[in-house]
Structure 1
C-alpha cells in the first residue's frame, strides 16, 4: 500500500514537472538552480516500481541535460564510490 501511494505521488509529480519543463529549460526558469538539483536527486535514484521517464518527454530531456553536466557526473561518481558493490 505504501509503495503504491509513493508510486502514484511520484508519477503525479513527474507529470507536473513535465508541464513546467515544457515551457522552461530548467525547473525554475531558464537558469540552473537548486530546484533542478533537488528534483534530479530524487529522480536519479528512481529504482522504485513504476517510476520511469517514458511518459514525460520534457523531464527526460531535462534529466539528460542535467546528467551530462561535468559537476553532476563528478557528484554521481563520488556517491557511487561510497556504495558497496555486490
Structure 2
C-alpha cells in the first residue's frame, strides 16, 4: 500500500527530499503523497524513508490504496523503466 500524510503534518519539510520516487509534494495545506508514485521505498530502501524522518509520525499506510509487496515492487520497476 502506498502511504499518506495525516493532517497532523507540521510542514517541517523533512520528508519531501527523502522520497526516492518524488511522490511527496506540498499540497494546499500540508504535504501529500501521490499514491501512483509511492512504493514505500521498496526497491530503494528497507523502510519508508519519509516515516523514518517524520518528527510527528503522521505518515501512515493508505488503506484506500491497497497493494501487496509484489505490486509495489512492480510499480518500482515501472517507475525506473519510465525514467530511462
Is the pair's TM-score, using the shorter chain for normalization, greater than 0.5?
Answer: no
* Larger radius of gyration between Structure 1 and Structure 2: 1
Instruction: Determine which structure has the larger helix proportion and give its number.
Output: 1
Q: TM-score, normalised by structure 2?
A: 0.31
Instruction: Determine which structure has the larger strand proportion and give its number.
Output: 2
- Larger RCO (alpha carbons 8 Å, 6+ apart): 2
